Amino acid sequence: MNAEQNKEQAFEVVAKIIHDRGVELIVGGNPAFETEFVLFHIEATMHQWGYKNPKVAAYCDAIKAENDNFRAMGIC
């Protein structure tokens, strides 16, 4: 694995850790707004550096969808 692949994989690993913590919050009945913000920031940084990872995008989308449910219930 080359240095570029290592960097992209590092982004993915960090995003997975953050996503999993957000899932814990959501399962506990709490929104994960900060998790959503951080994941989207990670994804934006990846794009800025020329990386695109479908797993990171899926983590972002999944947390946003769950947070949207909280927003729809008026929990902001």
Domain that holds residue 47: 3-72
Mean pLDDT of 16-40: 97
pLDDT given for residue 2 in this prediction? 87
Number of structural domains the chain divides into: 1
Confidence band of 9 (pLDDT split at 50, 70, 90): very high
pTM: 0.91
Count Cα neighbours of 28 within 13 Å in the Cβ-side half-sphere: 9
Residue closest to 18 by CA, chosen among 51, 48, 70, 62: 62
pLDDT given for residue 4 in this prediction? 81
Percent of the chain with pLDDT over 70: 100
